[in-house]
Amino acid sequence: MIVVRRLRLGAAYVLLLYLTLHFANHALGLISLDAMAAGRWWFLALWRSAPGTLALYGAITVHGILALWLLYDRRTLRMPAWEACQYALGLLLPALLVVHVVSTRIAWWRFGAEDSYPRIVLGLWMLSPEHGARQVLTLALAWLHAGIGVHYWLRFRPWYSRAAPWLFTVALLLPTLALLGFVAAGREVSELARTPGWTEAMLSATHAPGPTEAARLATIRRGFLDAYLIALVGVMIARGLTHLVARRRSIRIGYPNGRVVIAPGGFSILDASRLAGIPHASVCGGRGRCSTCRVRIVDGYQNLPAPSEAERRVLARVGAAPDVRLACQTHPVQEVSVEPLLAPSVAPSEAFGTDARQGREQELAVLFADLRGFTRMAENKLPYDVVFFLNRYFEAVGTAITRAGGVTNQFTGDGVMALFGIESGPALGSRQALAAARAMVEGVNALSAELATDLGSPLRIGIGIHTGPAVVGRMGWGESFYLTAVGDTVHVAARLEQATKDYAAELVVSEDVARHAAVDLSRFPAHDLTVRNRAGQIAVRVVERVASLPAVSLRT
């Protein structure tokens, strides 16, 4: 499926490039017919060369065949409005474009008719303006089809929201300039046509098709249209037959509130939701690219086919729990019960948001850090100096945390809380936390050396790390939402950070961290700590100097 998607995307990019250059060539009409002709020389040098021809007609063929295949493969024709529009335009365009392609490229190829701008503009502007209007409409629809495709392809990219206004401006400007160029060329040709003998001379010089050639071109056009229509009807009949067979193998899919959908075999969970009219988020239109359709499999997980590599990658990217699947990629073969995880109204910007948005219990490493003696130091400084210093300190420790793969969660006073392993799990998270601790101490030491003249004594930092279960979720209100964790693990990590004062150590780390990270800390002193409001004790290792920690690998 990935290969199909890449092929389709590659073909779409070739066609988009062709259309863009075609429009740019038309826009030169705003300068003159001669400028258009000069532009056309370069245009043809590219697209009528052997590689250009192969790329263009290969792209048309691949794009067309894959579109028909996707139409056949689609379980239900219920789809969001934008997707329906994209499909409808895609199916309409071959029938519209064939007229122009046959009278230009095919006429040139079969009869040596030169499709120069004066001849084509004369035909579309003066001799049969209704064909001109249809051609303008065809190009506008092709551009709209391409624009929708580009928008829905790129909108998950982090940079897209910034680039979108610029891209939209270009998308609007280019066809407008092309249309104005065509109008200007039309006027210029009208002027030229007033000159007695100009039209005849131009038609003769360009070997314009005569009645016999025109009749043969019309036959080619009809042949193509018939073939296209037969292919389309064939696909629809094949769809119908496949669905008739599939209906015999129907499966039951349970939804929250006891709702049950009986879907034909082969349907994906998203297809079943659409079939039953159950609102279901599907920002990418069911192409396995956004993760917004994901569902928790409440019952029957073991009966599902294993996820494909592509689905696995998307699920890993959002840190999905083991019982979560993409509804658009999962085709149940037996009864299952599911629970959609995202609201149907989810926005594209929320695609790839982690499940942590809903709050989810998971194992992760939590790190607390605190600057020793900061309160005393701040008492002797101007408030502006304190702000300057704190920002430098937060930059040093924040950089260390994010570079190691963690998420800085809270900066309070001189304290920092960070989470590791939200998406990668507790093993890597624990190693990341240890690596971050080492880098944080190095960063603070470097800052201390840099500000030595301002600081009475070197900066010291105390760090506590614990790994265990916590509920991770986005919390807050209005604009102030942030990812955080709550629960016993957080509580314990904070207690370990406080214990660094008692032991005059840079790091106190629980045995759970060492176990998850598979790091041998046996050479560091072991202690059992009591944590307020918590039964039992926590086994910890006290690391006086973080530099003496063994190196850890951050590979997954």
- Tell how strand 407-412 and strand 415-420 pair up: antiparallel
In angstroms, what is the minimal distance from the CB of 242 to ligand FES?
Answer: 22
* Token duo for residue 450: 């840099």
Exactly one of 25, 76, 282, 430 binds ligand FES (CB under 6 A); that residue is: 282
Least separation, in Å, of the C-beta of 326 and ligand FES? Answer: 5
Hey, which residues between 30 and 49 contact ligand FES (CB under 6 A)? none
284 contributes a contact to ligand FES by CB under 6 A:
yes
Q: How many residues bind ligand FES (CB under 6 A)?
A: 13
Opening angle at CA 280, ends 279 and 286, nearest 5: 135
Determine the Cα–Cα distance for residues 246 and 266; give it in Å rounded to an integer: 7
- Give the residue, chosen from 124, 269, 326, 346, that forms a contact with ligand FES under the rule CB under 6 A: 326
CB of 433 to ligand FES, least distance (A): 31
**Of the two residues 278 and 475, which places its CB atom closer to ligand FES in the complex?**
278
From candidates 184, 328, 396, 514, binder to ligand FES by CB under 6 A: 328
d(CA 167, CA 179): 19
SS3 percent helix, strand, coil of the chain, rounded to 5, is 60, 15, 25
Q: What tokens appear for 298 in the block?
A: 């409440």
CA distance 306 to 298: 16
Among positions 291-320, residues that touch ligand FES (CB under 6 A) are 291-293
- Min dist. Cβ of residue 85 to ligand FES (A): 17
Where in 423-452 is the site for ligand FES (CB under 6 A)? Answer: none
CA 104 to chain centre: 38
Contact between 288 and ligand FES by CB under 6 A: the answer reads yes
Closest CB 240 distance from ligand FES, rounded Å: 25
CB closer to ligand FES out of 351 and 433:
351
Q: Give residues with Cβ within 8 angstroms of 196, minimum separation 6.
A: none
| Window of 112-120, 217-225, 279-287, 315-323 that interacts with ligand FES by CB under 6 A | 279-287
**Considering only 284-292, 467-475, 492-500, 532-540, which stretch makes contact with ligand FES by CB under 6 A?**
284-292
> Where does this chain touch ligand FES (CB under 6 A) — which range of 199-207, 278-286, 400-408, 511-519?
278-286
Q: In terms of CB distance, is 314 or 529 closer to ligand FES?
A: 314
Cβ of residue 285: shortest distance to ligand FES, in angstroms? 6
Output the smallest distance, CB 165 to ligand FES, in A: 25
- Structure-token match 């926005």, residue found: 347
Stretch that binds ligand FES, among 290-298, 340-348, 387-395, 469-477 (CB under 6 A): 290-298
Give the helix/strand (H/E) hosting 395: helix 383-404
**Residue 353 binding ligand FES, by CB under 6 A:** no
Residue from 289, 325, 372, 438 that binds ligand FES (CB under 6 A)? Answer: 289
Q: How many CB atoms lie within 10 A of CB 132?
A: 19
Of 351 and 493, which CB lies nearer to ligand FES in the complex structure?
Answer: 351
Q: Which two tokens stand for residue 483?
A: 């990812």
Q: Does 15 bind ligand FES (CB under 6 A)?
A: no
Closest to ligand FES by CB, 80 or 254: 80
Cα separation values, 306 from 26, 206, 301, 322, 332, Å: 51, 61, 10, 12, 10
How does 211-234 read in b/e, with b if 16+ C-beta sit within 10 Å?
eebeebbeebbeebeeebeeeeee
Write out the two tokens for 395: 């930059």
> Which CB atom, from 220 or from 304, has the smaller least distance to ligand FES?
304
What secondary structure does DSSP assign to 287-330, as a single string? SSSS-TTEEEEEE-GGGSPPPPHHHHHHHHHTT--TTEEETTT-
Sign of CA dihedral 209, 215, 221, 227: negative
The correct pick among 33, 261, 283, 509 for binding ligand FES (CB under 6 A) is 283
* Only segment of 240-248, 283-291, 499-507, 515-523 that touches ligand FES (CB under 6 A): 283-291
User: Three-class SS string for 270-295?
Assistant: HHHHHHCCCCCCCCCCCCCCCCCCEE
Listed ranges 65-73, 140-148, 280-288, 464-472: which one lies at the site for ligand FES (CB under 6 A): 280-288
- 46 vs 71, which CB is nearer to ligand FES? 71
Positions touching ligand FES (CB under 6 A) are 282-284, 286-293, 326, 328
